[in-house]
Amino acid sequence: MTTKFLLPESELPTHWYNVVADLPAPPPPPLGPDGKPVGLEALAAIFPPALIEQEVSAERWIAIPEEIREIYRLWRPSPLHRAHRLEQALQTPARIYYKNESVSPAGSHKPNTSIPQAWYNRQAGIRRLTTETGAGQWGCSLALAGQLLGLEVRVYMVRVSYEQKPYRRSLMQTWGAEVFASPTKLTNAGRQVLEKHPDTPGSLGIAISEAVEEAAGRADTNYALGSVLNHVMHHQTIIGQEAKKQMALAGDYPDVVFGCCGGGSNFAGIAFPFYADKAAGKAVRLVAVEPSSCPTLTRGVYAYDYGDATGLTPLLKMHTLGHDFVPPGIHAGGLRYHGAAPLVSQLVDAGLVEALAIPQLETFEAGVLFARTEGIVPAPESTHAIAATIREAKACAKTGRPQVLLVNLSGHGHFDMSSYDRYFAGSLQNYDYPAEAIAESLQHLPKVG
């Protein structure tokens, strides 16, 4: 009975897959404040030319530069596991596989894109990168990339997280990044907020504004984003490409592929290479799983909206709860973004990708069962995809159908044990975002066309 399906380093993918080549229609373009498609020069102030090219490319394959593949080899190809013990606990005839992205140095899938983003910026002569981070996973991944590629990294970390997640901050500093609690006095955006609300806990929206302002104002500095944008989705497809080869080693092919969805990058990473098969006629279900308390794909609308809270970014056509949506404080499981990647959103809208929202207690219950059977403590984000897989496996136990289920374990939860503590203490509860609050926030969508 094989438990892990491993690929040799020589099987590391040579290209990223660009799903745009196989979409039923061209993706709607990002729009500027005037409602016209944004010119590429608007992006050039904060992104390097090669990433802008990838952002708008329709080429099916994008070659991965050799130096990036060398760095990927520090932890890739990542293992594919057969979850024998979880199957046994569930008494299911389903065969459950999980792709283990928790083995990267930062503990998640995010370095799959932080490494190429840093590399292309260095290639363009950039010396410094800025970014924002909430819980700290993206900041850590970019800090790692900056360290390995010789770029300075400055992270604006949402103040409450800075105070509540000290070890993520230590990790970023260990990898040589400068970390500031946002809002800071270093930027206009930060100073403006602090004048009015000196005690603000900060927010991702404010931290993005600070990071973008600094990058736009310095020629040697660019900005990096960890999810949502097309080039990020492309970089993550190494996950699904490896998984396809590993499923073949196992002699199986998935009936259903699950990934959790915040901005959409780890879901796209595992699912898009299988979507290529689906577009070619193969039967495979692709399921993006989100929290009931931040139900972007299941209860948001597919419309043009800002990528950030304050309206600095171009307008993206995506599923959104409204850019001023604020997830409830009770929500402990990450995946808090108000929007979702335009590429994932387009596929959900076309009915080619399914979306599912799961309540908080079920996700932690799934995470604990996974930890107690498979051993790995999943990141609270990943538990959403695991919970959906468990639901499907239980359905198989009822029907007796031996379905093949593949789930992306996007990361481990070693820095998120305070959320597990809250679950064990019984202080978490389920929370469906109220329909009136969603309707209210959707009224503030920008008017387009």
Ligand X SMILES: *Cc1c(COP(=O)(O)O)cnc(C)c1O
Site residues (CB under 6 A) for ligand X? 108, 110, 137, 227, 260-267, 335, 379, 381-382, 410-411
Q: Which is nearer to ligand X, 113 or 441 (CB)?
A: 113
Least CB distance to ligand X at residue 240 (A):
13
Q: Which is nearer to ligand X, 222 or 363 (CB)?
A: 363
Q: What is the dihedral of CA 57, 59, 63, 69, to 10 degrees?
A: 70
Residues 6+ apart with CB under 8 A from 46: 212, 215, 216, 222, 223
Q: Which is nearer to ligand X, 130 or 410 (CB)?
A: 410
Q: Which is nearer to ligand X, 183 or 262 (CB)?
A: 262
Give the span between the Cα atoms of 281 and 296, in whole angstroms: 28
* Closest among 115, 124, 170 to 147, alpha carbons compared: 115
Least CB distance to ligand X at residue 229 (A):
10
Least CB distance to ligand X at residue 400 (A):
32
Q: Which is nearer to ligand X, 121 or 137 (CB)?
A: 137
Least CB distance to ligand X at residue 121 (A):
20
Least CB distance to ligand X at residue 414 (A):
11
Residue 32 corresponds to which tokens in the numbers above? 């500027």
Residue 370 corresponds to which tokens in the numbers above? 């996974």
Q: Which is nearer to ligand X, 190 or 259 (CB)?
A: 259
Q: Which is nearer to ligand X, 31 or 106 (CB)?
A: 106
Least CB distance to ligand X at residue 239 (A):
10
Least CB distance to ligand X at residue 382 (A):
5
Which residue's beta carbon is nearest to the bound ligand X?
A: 411
